[in-house]
Amino acid sequence: MSPAPHEDLLRARAPQVLAALLRQHGVGQFDVCEDAVQEALLAAHRQWPEGGVPDDTFAWLLTAARRRMIDRIRSDHHRRERERDYVELRHPLADAAVVQTDDSVQLLRLCCHPELTRSAQVALTLRAVAGLSTAQIAHAYLLPEATVAQRISRAKARIRAAGAGFPPPLGPGDRLDPVLDVVYVMFTEGHTSSAGDDANDIRLSDEAIRLARLLQRELPEHVEVAGLLALMMLTDARRAARTDANGALIPLDEQDRSLWDRDAIRDATEILDDALTRGVAGPYSMQAAIAALHDEAPSTETTDWPQILVLFRMLEHATGNPIATLNRAVAEAMVHGPDAGLATVDALADSRGIPDGKRLASVRAHLLERAGRSAEAIDEYRSAARMTLSIPERDYLLARARRLEG
């Protein structure tokens, strides 16, 4: 779907308007505020295409959302006393100047509240910050709309019950990790294939990149925010080469690199280089640096594997994540030969330190193939295929096995 011309503008405004309402009414009114913003967005969708886009879109949406809130509250008999609070709203733009500073980071932190489950954090973020409708979120996750609606309203109720205040501006000691993790989960889940013309077709990977851009605009000094944005852009830049016409997966070393999005790679590399001059690289920046080395290389053979190996060692050291160890094994195989990689993989398997058996089997199969141990590789590919929950991945692994059988 090609978005309407004002679609991007509307979605960029959504979190700003919600943040302005929350500042005024408090997080205790989160659900009422968020519903009001959704209704204001719908009103804009209906009215702007014909009536034209207003000069001050922020003010227009804020006014529309406040009217909705007043209607809501007036119709609520139990809140009569609250009406007095709204008398002041006759001059709805009195404080518009104050809230033009973008509060999206604080809003993101609120949506990624630790009280919420991961799926609730993602759903709430997509709706409140990315400005998506419940239908669009449901469509992206292949879930019934009622389920997603329930999840969102429950998440809002939990935030209210937790007595969360609107988070204060991010201090130097405040950790953004929960927000970055939610955005990255959104990205990695987000390979919903777009059918093209369905108004609900949302590419979650695009949403995640959009959110990271928002964060980066507001926190230009934050190394990991830039690292996450660059990582996602560098990964997404290979999208066109990642699958063939039938949707079958193509591994990195067989991809047609002329299909990679060079502009995105250049932009992402600039963002990353700039960030790395500002401070110490964290896990996202390290992974971005690895992705950049892949994206800059003309081929697998000319890739700077020694440098990638160093980066995976750093990542391992920083996170203790066994997936980093598994990826280090691949780099070791490229630098020191497949046996070196296999030794690392086998040690990891023996230590039972890896929860993801499918990834381990898949890496081991590739390394066995490289080492010329075809019979074992075939078994390992089949074993990985039985473990995966992704149909394209299963088909790819079985195809590798068949290819070896000749």
Partner 1 sequence: MKYLILMHVDPEILESLTAEQQQAIGAGHEAFMAKTTETGEMLSTHALGAPSQSKVVRSRNGRPETVDGPFAETKEFMGGYYLVDVDSEERAIELAKEIPDASIDGLALEIRPVMFSAGADI
The binding site for partner 1 (CB under 8 A) comprises 117-120, 138, 141-144, 147-148, 150-151, 154, 389-391, 394
Q: What is the dihedral of CA 348, 353, 355, 357, to 10 degrees?
A: 20
CB of 123 to partner 1, least distance (A): 8
Closer residue to partner 1 in complex, CB, 192/255: 192
In single-letter form, the type of residue at position 51 comes to: G
CB of 107 to partner 1, least distance (A): 21
Closer residue to partner 1 in complex, CB, 101/150: 150
CB of 161 to partner 1, least distance (A): 14
Closer residue to partner 1 in complex, CB, 154/239: 154
193 contacts 247 by C-beta, under 8 angstroms: yes
CB of 108 to partner 1, least distance (A): 19
250 contacts 243 by C-beta, under 8 angstroms: yes
CB of 231 to partner 1, least distance (A): 23
In the chain, what are the helix, strand and coil shares in percent, each to the nearest 5?
A: 70, 0, 30
Closer residue to partner 1 in complex, CB, 145/304: 145
Closer residue to partner 1 in complex, CB, 21/208: 208
Task: Kindly list the distances between the CA atom of residue 62 and the CA atoms of 82, 107, 233, 240, 320, in Å, as whole numbers in the listed order.
Answer: 19, 16, 32, 39, 46
Closer residue to partner 1 in complex, CB, 100/150: 150
Residue 349: partners with Cβ closer than 8 Å, 6 or more residues away: 360, 364
Closer residue to partner 1 in complex, CB, 74/118: 118
Report the distance separating Cα 290 and Cα 309, nearest Å: 9
Name residue, tokens 């046996």: 339
CB of 135 to partner 1, least distance (A): 12
Half-sphere exposure of 406 (CA within 13 A, CB side): 2
Closer residue to partner 1 in complex, CB, 25/156: 156
CB of 170 to partner 1, least distance (A): 26
CB count within 10 Å of CB 358 equals 18
DSSP code per residue over 365-384: HHHHHHTT-HHHHHHHHHHH
Q: How far apart are the first and last CA of the chain?
A: 42
CB of 391 to partner 1, least distance (A): 6
